[in-house]
Structure 1
Amino acid sequence: MDNFVVSARKYRPQTFDTVVGQGHITTTLKNAIKNGQLAHAFLFCGPRGVGKTTCARILAKTINCENLQSSGEACDVCPSCKRFNEGTSLNIHELDAASNNSVDDIRALVEQVRFAPQAGKYKVYIVDEVHMLSSSAFNAFLKTLEEPPSYAIFILATTEKHKILPTILSRCQIFDFKRITNQDTVGHLQDIATKEHIDTEKAALQLIAQKSDGCMRDSLSILDKIVSFTNGEVTYQNTLEHLNILDDEYYFQLLDSLVIQDMAGALLLYDQINKKGFEGDLVLNGFAGFIRNLLVCQQPKALSLLDVVEALQPKYQEMASKVAPSFLISALNILNQAEVEYKMARNKRLHVEMALIKLNFLQQAIELAVEDQGKVVKKKQIDGPIAYRERVIAGFGAGTKKAAASVEIAKPTAQKSSPDNGSSLHIEPPLRPRPAAPEKITTTPDTRTEADIRRQDQVMAPTEPRPLEHKLEGSTGNTLTRPSKKNLLDAIKAKVGREYEVKEVENPEPLTMEKLQPLWDEFADSLLAQGKHSASNTFNAAILTIQSDELFQIEVQAVTQKKIIEHEKMILLDYLQKHFKNRLLTFTLYVPPSAMEVKLPPSSRERFDAMVQKNGALLALKNQLKLNLDY
């Protein structure tokens, strides 16, 4: 049986014209050879598998060709070219700097440079992975690299240019190789498949090009493996199977389930994917790439960035037109975060399912309130004090008594008072069974905006249609007609209809010492009743100072007292905010600098100096006995 040669070696380019995807490099080198403007040192840098070493060998072969073509290419028939093709040329020396990176290796190379070539014009030294050389080896190479003999040419190749010393870079002519595009890779693979009589599908070759990520050597290795796997027939399906790539059809089905909020369908589809042997991080990464391609499809100018096979491009564009950009951007953010945290998760499957559940309810989270004119309302930060909010929630259960849920909404600062002098506006709720004793739940203070409050109450509102115009009756009997442009309170009333009783709460109470101090003492007494004697004493010893309408300062005399108050901070704030009806109320802690200082015991030298001041004879005794202090 003949010895098998992999495609990466068998079809390695032998001339500049056969190099794929590096036209800017090959054209420059050919022109330099034709015009006799060759530099004495070259640095080829770029990603792996893009042709750096190949171009170095072609350059070495071409400059020693005895019958150079007018196009700047080697003839391939002269003795020098034949010796090069057979690997017996004495004018080309290759050094792998990854395994020969010491000073002695470079010194041996420098010694060889002193000898002129026996045949040909130039001796070419190719140093691959030059960034692996040690600093001492680089320094030993500097002088020779700067002023080599006229017949010596150095070609350095590296994938990490930033690791090379600047003194080396300044002595070389630098060529930056770029990644090979998918289109060039597909064309080269198609040519090789034609020469090898391999049946291939273009979609399969495009998939191989995407997997190789611009590396021609990787793409040729993948092609060899798939040919062996499929016995000479490369199709899209067997390429997916061999490369362990999830078909895009699964991502289309998954997105369809998420858009219609079919959580069960999405989880069952992921279960099906999981049973096929695909890990969760692969699913997250693939789905994120799928979302990215949909975002690209929504911009006609960016269609060239679409990284999918040609057969699926129309389907991507069709799906992109059905999904909002806000959903795609938020989904991409969730998937990226889930992929980052995947390695730290103990239950990998549950971690992926949680990400899918978030995506399932993502549309509700990104809905924006719309005015009557159809304009999107941006979130507005509420300035000034905001009243403390309470909500009484009645549970469902068997019972004969009727109860109404009561919701208190903070009155916006920009809203004008109603004509009925602040009287409550009531909308009678329909009767429904409630328990005899509804449980009262008090929410903790929050910092939500007006838009947040509006969206929450919209979700709580009944789904049955309400008339656009209705009348609200106040305590004075006046009838108010809702204006065309709704404010926040009117919008809430229109949404909730008759389900809830909407009331306007009082304005926040001013922060005064007359009310703050009794509340503070009362809280300290409650701590004492709980058996927290240290905390109660700390609160009693604290000094309060009002800084503004929403801020007061607590002065304590020790760091330990500060930590005790910080431990009770959440309960204390909830207690004070409720009594002042201001959920923005807060405080700061202050410890005097003198309390922060740590007093160390006196050293031996300090104690001795103090004793000398009282009795000077001690110093004379110390000097006479030649004693030393123990520091």
Structure 2
Amino acid sequence: MDKFIVSARKYRPQLFNTVVGQSHITTTLKNAIKSEQLAHAFLFCGPRGVGKTTCARILAKTINCENRTAEGEACNTCNSCVSFNEGTSMNIHELDAASNNSVDDIRALVEQVRFAPQAGEYKVYIIDEVHMLSSSAFNAFLKTLEEPPSYAIFILATTEKHKILPTILSRCQIFDFKRITTNDTVEHLQEICEKEHVTAEKAALQVIAQKSEGCMRDALSIMDKIVSFTGGELNYNNTLEHLNILDADYYFKLLNCMMSQDLAGAMLLFDDINRKGFEGDLVLNGLAEFMRNLLVCKDERAASLLETVESFKSRYVETAATISAGTLISALNILNDAEIGFKAARNKRLHVELVLIKLCYLQQAMELSADGSAVSKKKRVDSARAVPFRALKAFEWKPAAPANDNTGARLTVETAPPVTQPQKQTTPPPQTTSSANTAAKPASPKISGLAQMRSKFKNMQEEAKEIVARPLVMEELRAKWDEYAAMLKANKNAAGSVFDMAQLQLVDENSFYVKVNDPIQFRFIETNALNVAEFLKEKLQNANLQLFIAMEENKDLAPKIEIPLSSGQQFQKLTEQYPLIRELKERLKLNVDY
């Protein structure tokens, strides 16, 4: 039994004409070969699986072909082409820079460049994933890449051009490969299915092409898996099942529930989707893409951007005509916020259900109306109701001449005409009065209230003056202070002992100092200062009594720290006690090492 070869290898293009979707590059290379204007270094860059390495191999085979065609293609029959196809050619060297990215690997490659080819005209060096080379390896490669021998051609391939040093880019001809379009992918898959005698529906191939995202190698790998899964039959349903893709028909049903405000239907439909194993983020992402496709179909010029199965295109266009663009934009905003917050949600299912609730009641919650070029959103209410307005009186402050009661300025009131009602009122508006009638009326209650407040304040001032402020006496102050401390102790308040230790000092006949020794005592006195002040005012009959707290450090209570004497101080103290030691030092002319 022959060994199975995957389609990506079995149907790898062998000629420039068989390369899919890169005609702008293959045409340039063929013309360069025919005109013999080949560069010494090429850089092929682009997404994965679009034919970079394939084109590099075809170029290496074609330039060494002994019987090239008039179109610049290899003949595939000469010794060079046959050895190349069998993988035994000595004129091509491939280096995987992902696993051989050190300076030693590049130095070994440079050593090989010195030897001329034994057969053929060129030696081709293909370095794949060249962006993986280290900076030192790039620098070791610079000189050889700039001035290689006439028989050496370098082809560098990478998916990340921005990681390559500018000094390397400036020494190469750069070819940018593009993603393969969906139509080109579908046509190529159809050709392979015909050769392999596989029954394939075009809708299934279109789904595979969309899933591959422009990568032909991925598309061929997906097709091989599905063919093996289905036993040689490729249809739309088993493709969706194998790729774990939600059918667009579900999204159309969700849209119908949304437009008809059928919340129960949307919940049941989501439950069916959830039972089939589709995660909530997949549903949100697919629904957002579905809304985007509908928005694209609103304009015929943008309809070409719609990438979906052909059988659904007409349905998209018909559905988009029945929905306003504002509704689609609002739905997209809701879905975008839901996708962002999906990972942070603890209850994933509830998170998706809340999104469905918002979408189902989107029409009822908002009414989109176009005002010229702008679009405004209005919340819909049950019925239009008039806003109840009430006529307010205008107050004006006018200074008046001083009266006998010393009330100062007076407050006069003038009534203003009522506010015009924009709509009918359920209650009649208040009657308006002229300013002349207002002047004839007795004083307003607000005026009498103000006069009462002033009168009360005046009486309070007079009562305060009548209070006799007895001067403070130290003995009475200390006695009442100790009485308050006893009250604190009776209530088992820790501040009682602090009040006992506090020192009192008179400042004048109405104020005194409370002196404490540390911050803790200061805090206790400060906390009870208001209460003790009120207590003393009442007991000593002095309403002007003031209390000040001062903290003074008591040196007697401070811990004494003995500092050890230095060597010089110890010697000085020793000589004071025994003078002969100093005399001995002077006679012997000794130096003391302090």
TM interval, shorter chain, is 0.5 to 0.7
Match of 1:56 in 2: 56
Do the aligned partners of residues 26 and 410 (structure 1) sit closer, same or farther apart at CA in structure 2, a change above 3 Å counting?
farther
Aligned to 2:42: 42
Counterpart residue number, 1:422: 419
What is the Cα deviation at residue 426 of structure 1? 8.6
Q: How does 1:515-554 map to 2 (within 5 A)?
A: none
Aligned to 1:559: none
Cα deviation for residue 379 of structure 1 reads: 5.9
Deviation at 1:336, TM superposition (A): 1.6
Q: Structure 1: how far apart are the matches of 2:349 and 2:593? A: 77
Matches of 1:57 and 1:410, distance apart in 2: 87
Q: How many residues align?
A: 405
Matched, 1:153 2:153: yes
Offset at residue 92 of structure 1 (A): 0.2
1:368-407 matches, within 5 Å, as 368=368
Q: Relative to 1, partners in 2 of residues 1:283 and 1:118: Cα closer, same or farther, differing over 3 Å?
A: same
Are the equivalent residues in 2 in contact too, given 1:326–1:366 (CA < 8 A)? no
Aligned to 1:234: 234
SS in 2 for 1:174: strand
Question: 261-270 or 25-34: which moved more?
Answer: 261-270
Change (3 A) 1:341 1:7: same
User: Letter of the aligned partner of 1:157 in structure 2?
Assistant: A
Mapped to 2, the partners of 1:156 and 1:410 lie a distance apart of 82
Report the AA paired with residue 132 of structure 2: M
Deviation at 1:377, TM superposition (A): 8.0
Structure 2 counterparts to residues 436-455 of structure 1, below 5 A:
none
The C-alpha deviation readout for 1:64-101, integer Å capped at 9, x for no partner, is 00011110000111000000000000000000000000
Q: Does 1:166 align with 2:171?
A: no
Equivalent position of 1:3 in the other structure? 3
Match of 1:304 in 2: 304
TM-score relative to the length of structure 2:
0.65
> Within 1, Cα distance between the matches of 2:220 and 2:40?
33
> Residue in 1 aligned with 2:141?
141
* Equivalent residue number for residue 194 of structure 1: 194
Q: Deviations over 1:111-166 (max 9, x none)?
A: 00000000000000000000000000000000000000000000000000000000
Q: Is the 8 A contact 2:388 2:425 kept in 1?
A: no
Name the aligned partner's letter for residue 297 of structure 2. Answer: C
Corresponding position of 1:79: 79
User: Is 1:249 the equivalent of 2:249?
Assistant: yes
Q: Does 1:223 align with 2:220?
A: no
1:341 is paired with a residue whose SS is: helix
- After TM superposition, give the deviation of residue 353 of structure 1 in Å: 1.1
User: What is the aligned partner in structure 1 of residue 203 from structure 2?
Assistant: 203
Partner of 1:105: 105
Compute the displacement of 1:314 (Å): 0.7
Question: Which residue is 1:213 aligned to?
Answer: 213
- Once the two structures are superposed, residues 342-401 of structure 1 have per-residue CA deviations (whole angstroms, 9 ceiling, x without a partner) of 11111111111111122222224441468xxx9798669xxxxxxxxxxxxxxxxxxxxx
Whole-angstrom distance in 2 between the partners of 1:408 and 1:190: 72
- After superposing the two structures, state which structure 1 stretch, 344-353 or 147-156, moved more: 344-353
Against the structure 1 CA distance between its residues 474 and 168, is the aligned structure 2 distance closer, same or farther, given a 3 Å change threshold? same
| Pairing of 1:515-594 with structure 2 (within 5 A) | none
Determine if contact 1:423/1:475 at 8 Å carries over to the other structure. no
Look up the SS of the partner of 1:329 in the other structure: helix
The corresponding residue for 1:273 is 273
Query: Amino acid of the residue matched to residue 419 of structure 2?
Result: G
Name the aligned partner's letter for residue 281 of structure 1: D
- The residue aligned with 2:120 is 120
CA contact (8 A) 1:60 1:124 kept: yes
Query: SS of the residue aligned with 1:367?
Result: strand
CA 1:35–1:424 in 2, change beyond 3 Å: closer, same or farther? closer
Who wins on radius of gyration, i.e. which is larger?
2
**C-alpha displacement at 1:211, in angstroms?**
0.4
Structure 2 distance, partners of 1:377, 1:36, is 61
Q: Distance in 2 between matches of 1:379 and 1:232?
A: 55
Question: For residues 296 and 406 of structure 1, do their structure 2 counterparts lie closer, same or farther at Cα, with a shift above 3 Å needed?
Answer: closer
User: Residue 133 and residue 626 in structure 1: after superposition, are their counterparts in 2 closer, same or farther (change >3 A)?
Assistant: farther
User: 1:22, 1:46 → 2: CA distance?
Assistant: 11
Task: Give the whole-Å Cα distance in 1 for the aligned partners of 2:293 and 2:85.
Answer: 45
CA distance in 2, matches of 1:320, 1:626: 102
Asked whether the equivalents of residues 92 and 125 of structure 2 are also in contact (C-alpha less than 8 Å), the reply is yes
The AA in structure 1 aligned to 2:126 is I
Code of the aligned partner of 1:257: C
User: Structure 1 residues 101 and 376 mapped into 2: Cα distance closer, same or farther (>3 Å)?
Assistant: closer
Aligned-pair distance for 1:331? 1.0
How many angstroms does 1:178 deviate by? 0.2
Residues 271-329 of structure 1, C-alpha deviations (whole Å, 9 max, x = no match): 11001100001101111111111011111001110011111111111110111101111
Residue 179 of structure 2 aligns to a residue in which SS? Answer: coil
Show the counterpart of 2:367. 367
Name the amino acid aligned to 1:232. G
Deviation at 1:213, TM superposition (A): 0.3
Secondary structure of the residue that 2:367 maps to in structure 1?
coil
Gaps in structure 2 of 5+ consecutive residues: 378-384, 392-415, 433-449, 451-591
C-alpha RMSD of matched pairs (Å): 2.6
Q: Deviations over 1:465-514 (max 9, x none)?
A: xxxxxxx975579xxxxxxxxxxxxxxxxxxxxxxxxxxxxxxxxxxxx9
- The alpha-carbon distance between structure 1 residues 106 and 264, as it changes in their structure 2 partners (threshold 3 A), is same
- Aligned counterparts of 2:390 and 2:5: Cα–Cα separation in 1: 79
Partner of 1:531: none
Shift of 1:427: 5.5
CA distance in 2, matches of 1:236, 1:282: 19
| TM-score scaled by length of structure 1 | 0.61
Q: State, as a whole percentage, how many aligned pairs show the same letter.
A: 71
The one-character-per-residue Cα deviations of 1:32-53 (angstroms, maximum 9, x if unpaired) are 0000000000000000000000
Runs of 4 or more above 3 Å deviation:
374-380, 405-411, 423-429, 472-477
- In the other structure, the counterpart of 2:182 is 182
> Partner of 1:347 in structure 2?
347
Q: Is the 8 A contact 2:285 2:339 kept in 1?
A: yes
Deviation at 1:183, TM superposition (A): 0.1
SS in 1 for 2:342: coil
Conserved 8 A contact 2:49-2:215: yes
Measure, in 1, the Cα distance between the counterparts of 2:290 and 2:357.
18
Aligned counterpart, 2:522 = none
SS at structure 2 position matched to 1:25: helix
Gaps of 5+ in 1: 381-404, 412-418, 430-471, 478-513, 515-624
